[in-house]
Amino acid sequence: MAILFLSDAAAATAWADALANELPDEVIRVNTGPGDDGDVEFAVVWQPAKGRLARIPNLRAIFSLGAGVDHIFADSELPAHVPVFRLIDPVLTAQMAEYVVMNVLWHHRGMDQYAAHQAGRRWRQADLPRTARRRVGIMGLGVLGSAAAEALARFGFPLAGWTRTARDWPLGEAFHGRGGLRPFLAISDILVCLLPLTPETEGILDAGAFAALPSGAALINAARGGHVVEADLIDALDSGALGAATLDVFATEPLAQDHPFWAHPRVRVTPHVAAITYGDTTAREIALNIGRFRAGAPMSGLVDRARRY
């Protein structure tokens, strides 16, 4: 039996080679056509073409090359009977925690102001609150959100967390559901979005959400561009209701050359690099999961199809 690697990324062949190193006895194909699928058991994918997975007759499992699976569920012809697994990679998780901490500290310590002061040759100290008085709100407390929260807690930031359903959370004040969203936003001086993108969370950061935040709050979005209504974000920044935004993900990527985010004085843009997928560590985690699947052992990253995460 075989493993099919489906991705249009430039590094697809290198990633497939890394998987072959982990599974030397497996047949691994890269971006082959439907006529070669009869012996394919597993598909390892990033943004597969619509209907492509449905044409694999003996498919047993689908593995995402990233922590998100919205690119898989975007396929309206996705086989309903095949389990989907998101990537849980300790290296990717650590990178996300680093990115969040780096940008929370950037906003907390007023580095945007100091960058502007440097450009204007002004020696001026900003009046900033101490860490214990700056609450960080984290939307999404899965693997990535939990890691980011644990890292921030070590700096002494008070934390709040928002999730779709109720859960015990020892690191801060927990909110859940639509009823808990506005109270959560109201106390989040720095808002971090690490939600999965689902029909329920698409566009969740809109004009109403930005209005609910404390005046001058900062936004860090390292989840998916679809969470943010971009026009509403620009309006909130222009009005001063929102103080700043760090954005790693966008509704359309790459970001268009004429997009207003590039030149906006309150926006920092990074090109979807908060947590980078490395071939060797990704291959190791997927290989371990394939081994567990064949052994009938518990696996990591199984996606609930109803919730899409």
CATH number for the domain that contains residue 153: 3.40.50.720
Asked if 176 and 165 touch (Cβ cutoff 8 Å), the reply is yes
Amino acid at residue number 109 = R
Same domain, 17 and 156: no
Same domain, 79 and 211: no
Does residue 300 belong to any structural domain of this protein?
no
Residue among 48, 19, 18, 20 nearest 32 (CA): 48
Does residue 126 belong to any structural domain of this protein?
yes
Cα–Cα distances (Å) from 6 to 16, 63, 127, 212, 233, in that order, read 9, 10, 51, 42, 34
Does residue 55 belong to any structural domain of this protein?
yes
Does residue 306 belong to any structural domain of this protein?
no
Q: For residue 9, give its domain range.
A: 2-89+277-295
Same domain, 148 and 224: yes
Same domain, 34 and 179: no
Does residue 182 belong to any structural domain of this protein?
yes
Half-sphere exposure of 106 (CA within 13 A, CB side): 18
Residue 63 pLDDT: 98
Residue 8 pLDDT: 82
Does residue 171 belong to any structural domain of this protein?
yes
Give yes or no: 272 in active site. yes
- Three-class SS state of 27: strand
Could you give the dihedral angle defined by the CA atoms of residues 269, 272, 273 and 278, in that order, rounded to the nearest 10 degrees? -170
State the total domains in the chain: 2
Instruction: Measure the CA–CA gap between 205 and 208, rounded to whole angstroms.
Output: 8
Residue 1 pLDDT: 87
Q: Are strands 242-247 and 217-221 parallel, antiparallel or unpaired?
A: parallel
- Per residue of the chain (309 residues), give pLDDT as tens: 899 999 987 778 898 999 999 999 999 999 988 888 999 999 999 999 999 999 999 999 999 999 999 999 999 999 999 999 999 999 999 999 999 999 999 999 999 999 999 999 999 999 999 999 999 999 999 999 999 999 999 999 999 999 999 999 999 999 999 999 999 999 999 999 999 999 999 999 999 999 999 999 999 999 999 999 999 999 999 999 999 999 999 999 999 999 999 999 999 999 999 999 999 999 999 999 999 999 999 999 999 999 999
pTM > 0.75: yes or no: yes
Q: Tell me whether residue 281 is exposed, middle or buried, using C-beta atoms within 10 angstroms of its C-beta: 0 to 12, 13 to 18, 19 or more.
A: middle
Does residue 304 belong to any structural domain of this protein?
no
Asked if 148 and 101 touch (Cβ cutoff 8 Å), the reply is yes
Residue 36 pLDDT: 82
Same domain, 199 and 61: no
Residue 151 pLDDT: 99
Residue 25 pLDDT: 94
User: Of 71, 117, 264, 272, which residue is the catalytic one?
Assistant: 272
Same domain, 70 and 213: no
Does residue 34 belong to any structural domain of this protein?
yes
Residue 226 pLDDT: 98
User: Of 224, 227, 266, 284, which residue is the catalytic one?
Assistant: 224
Residue 35 pLDDT: 82
